[in-house]
Amino acid sequence: MIFSTRQPLWRFPADLNLRAEDVTFPSQDGVTLRGWFIHRANADGSPAPTIVFIHGWPWNRCGNRAGATLLPDRTIDFLEPAAAFSRAGFHVLLFDLRNHGLSDARIPVTFGVNEARDVIGAVAMLRARQDVDGGRIGLIGYSMGANAALCAAPECAPIRGIVAVQPTSAQVFAPNTARDVLGPAGPTLIQIGGLIHRAFGAPPLSAIAPAAWVHRLRDTDVLYIQGAGDRWGSLADVAAMAANTPRARPVVAAPSNERYGGYLYVAGHVDAIIAFFRESLGVEG
């Protein structure tokens, strides 16, 4: 909860013949962040819409490689959907949040609260580029990254579209995960861990609650995706977020029997995700 296991980069744009450049930029509060700017196919330098992928904990810009942590997980690959977006005419930014990948450290991990400053920095960097249409930037975040996207978007408006894949309220996610992974003693251990987390400067778990933030997204279309059988998150929790979101689409309840099934929905339905961003960003097909 304080630090993050840093996964190495395990796949690269060149693996899919994507034209990309390394980018380095500051977060809103000065943390140095690193990533890849993947150009749209047949880019001619004119301004184009851009999609920002925002990873979960403890992933990186590639997504998640199964077996990289002690938690039960599955591989989630960002480069395949990024390639689909590129072919569809979107630039794509993949970057490492603070404390992850190759970006600099600033502890603690806060599951979206401080990480929102990284998203704000990413959007500012994109809007400084001549080949990006600054009014047509969309965000797709996973778990902690979804929290960060929902928190950041009002601070870097206009963000016309967000896909929030399994965002989490810490008071739901933390005890559920601890119980599933550690057994009956897990929730008690999480309470102790939460005190240590706060001692390192983190907000209380009760403050990591997207349902309390999303009313500010007045001009943003939001598509929530949540695994129906997720034992760590909660469909009811995400439904509460959607209920407080002015322009929420119907929540997608992805078939799953564990956490990672929900994450895999995007890769399996990338055409529908692209269609959502075309509509919300006003991009012709």
Q: pTM value?
A: 0.96
CA distance 240 to 261: 21
Predicted pLDDT of residue 3: 64
Predicted pLDDT of residue 202: 79
CA distance 62 to 122: 16
Predicted pLDDT of residue 205: 87
Neighbours of 188 (CB within 10 A): 13
* Residues near 22 by beta carbon (within 8 Å), at least 6 away in sequence: 34, 35, 36
CA distance 114 to 267: 27
The residues that bridge with 33 in the sheet, in sequence order, are 25
* Residues near 276 by beta carbon (within 8 Å), at least 6 away in sequence: 161, 163, 221, 223, 249
pLDDT in tens, 141-177: 999 999 999 999 999 999 999 999 999 999 999 889 8
Predicted pLDDT of residue 2: 64
Annotated domain spans of the chain: 13-280
- Low-confidence residues of the chain, pLDDT below 50? none
Q: For domain 13-280, which architecture applies?
A: 3-Layer(aba) Sandwich (3.40)
CA distance 259 to 263: 7
Predicted pLDDT of residue 5: 82
Predicted pLDDT of residue 191: 79
